[in-house]
Amino acid sequence: NRAADLVSCGVCLFLASWSYEFVAVSYRQNARGMALDMLLWPVQAVIVWSFASSALRYLAYAVFPALRPSESPEEIQ
């Protein structure tokens, strides 16, 4: 599980960095929505936060395995 959590952390970090570049381009170009005349980058920043927070979660699971939610059916019920 630790290896899977580290791989998931790496994937999320990669996607966070890629989405940061995506949002940075929208910011530099002052991109605005077509239907609603508003800046796009503040809304798109949620994508960066989602991937970054997921990376932190998977890193925490890898470092502290006791934090990982259990998957046993007895505890779900």
> What is the model's pTM?
0.82
Helix/strand/coil percentages in the chain, nearest 5? 75, 5, 25
Reading the chain (77 residues) residue by residue, the pLDDT tens digits are 899 999 999 999 999 999 999 999 999 999 999 998 999 999 999 999 999 999 999 999 999 999 988 877 665 55
* Spatial contact of 66 and 1, defined as CB atoms under 8 Å apart: no
